[in-house]
Amino acid sequence: MHDLIARFIRFALFFGLTTVSATYLVAEEQTPAQKQTPLTHSEQWQNFKQAERITDLTRCTPADALSEGRHHDKWKVFEYETAEFSGKCISVGRESSAPDLTLKLGKQGWHAVYIGLSSITDLVRPAKNNVEAKFTSDPAYTRLSNRLNLGPQRRDMLEEVFLGAADLTDNDLQFSTVYQMPARIH
């Protein structure tokens, strides 16, 4: 009787191992969907290829709230360049008292809107990048944050953060600082 049970256990173990091995081999083979490069959030919209990227944030008003140098009560203008585009971004430090900004969009109809936020450092390590943004038709701001770490050689990483889909007819964007948080908007 013990011989019969021992043989059954050996068979069950052998069968279980071969079943697991076969499953493992099948799982190792990638499907065409797994071989594709994942899309960014913004690339998943139907009209992504017709999207307009605003890369010059010196279009924000009031213009006297922008500066080429670092000032406590102003947004600093930086030039930047990626592999795909270049432009002028705006930035504030941790203890800024810079005023709110408005970016005129001049668009009609419904659009998905993303705000470019880059990773930043506090001179030693990555720091949080937070900004509050809203459509002028919205009653309240939404806090947005870049969740990426610095890239190789401590390079900034740019993330397109989804603000929302809205009818942009007579609707613009507004940006506000977050208390005790730096921000860099692209």
Q: What confidence tens digit (pLDDT) does each residue in 125-167 have?
A: 666 778 899 999 999 999 888 877 665 555 677 778 889 999 9
Clarify whether residues 108 and 173 are in a common domain: yes
**pLDDT given for residue 142 in this prediction:** 92
Clarify whether residues 87 and 174 are in a common domain: yes
Clarify whether residues 88 and 11 are in a common domain: no
Average pLDDT over residues 89-102: 88
pTM of the model: 0.71
The CATH number for 98's domain is: 2.60.120
**pLDDT given for residue 5 in this prediction:** 42
**pLDDT given for residue 95 in this prediction:** 81
Clarify whether residues 144 and 89 are in a common domain: yes
Question: What is the rounded CA–CA span in Å between residue 181 and residue 122?
Answer: 11
Clarify whether residues 28 and 80 are in a common domain: no
Comparing 19 with 118, which gets the higher pLDDT?
A: 118
Cα-Cα-Cα-Cα dihedral sign, residues 82, 85, 87, 92: negative
Residue 37 has pLDDT above 70, yes or no: no
- Give the strand pairing for 75-81 and 173-176: unpaired
Angstrom CA distances, 98 to 61, 65, 70, 78, 106, stand at: 12, 7, 11, 16, 24
Clarify whether residues 23 and 75 are in a common domain: no
Clarify whether residues 56 and 112 are in a common domain: yes
- CB distance 176 to 103 below 8 Å: no
Domains of the chain: total: 2
- CB distance 120 to 186 below 8 Å: no
**pLDDT given for residue 14 in this prediction:** 35
Clarify whether residues 46 and 29 are in a common domain: no
Clarify whether residues 20 and 48 are in a common domain: no
Q: Nearest Cα to 160, choosing from 74, 39, 2, 34? A: 39
β-sheet bridge partners, residue 61: 102
What is the residue range of 161's domain?
A: 42-185
Clarify whether residues 14 and 53 are in a common domain: no
Average pLDDT, the chain: 75
Clarify whether residues 56 and 106 are in a common domain: yes
Clarify whether residues 71 and 31 are in a common domain: no
Residue 106 has pLDDT above 80, yes or no: yes
**pLDDT given for residue 9 in this prediction:** 38
Question: Element (H or E) spanning 67, and its range?
Answer: strand 66-67
